[in-house]
Amino acid sequence: MKKLVELAAFGLGVAGCFFAVATRCLPVWQVSGELGNVTGALPVYWDGVWMDWEHHSLGELRCAFYQSLLPLGKHFRSWQALITSSISFGIVSVAIYGIGRLRFPQWVQVKPVSGAVFLLSAVLLLIPMSWTTHESAQTLGSLPSLRRKVGQALYVGWTATVLFIIGGCFLQYGRTG
């Protein structure tokens, strides 16, 4: 039974890793607005960590990667670095667990180390998710007619953080005999 719990915890950590990768590809928030009494006259914008989208009322959708990191704010560059670090540490944790289970099955220290790295991944992902959620709640400066809505990346990122935490805690503290 303890082995099944351990494998389930590892599976949650791996799922968190996949969700963290998906966070990079989805829109962080959606910006929409209105001109006077006409809603939908402005295009809808989605800002992602690596690309942006523009959807016009005629059904046309344009996607583009950021051509340069210079025009992006410090926030976007920080988010990119933290999300990439979280994904990297998640992959390292998967590698530690996999190599430890295959090459050194008698070493019980492999599971807690893998769990600790999953927890580090969760913290690294928690920071940009919290930061971005806070930024989404703020008004858009001098344009009160524009409003932001939380995008899919935040929901997927919060889910990845929870999966990392649950998987990491069970691997860190669930000792098998």
* Residue boundaries of the structural domains of the chain: 2-26+72-141+150-173
CA distance 164 to 154: 15
Q: Do 88 and 118 meet the contact criterion of CB atoms below 8 Å apart?
A: no
Beta-sheet strands, E only, within the chain: 27-32, 34-35, 38-39, 44-48, 51-55, 61-65, 147-150
Domain covering 2-26+72-141+150-173: architecture = Up-down Bundle (1.20)
Whether 144 shows a pLDDT value over 80: the answer reads no
Amino acid in position 29: W
Which tokens belong to 34? 């209105």
pLDDT tens profile 85-119? 999 999 999 999 988 888 887 777 888 889 999 99
Residue 129: pLDDT band with limits 50, 70, 90: confident
Closest alpha carbon to 83 in 133, 134, 121, 131: 121
Share of the chain above pLDDT 70, in %: 62
Phi-psi region of 104 (alpha: psi -120 to 50; beta: other; left: phi over 0): beta
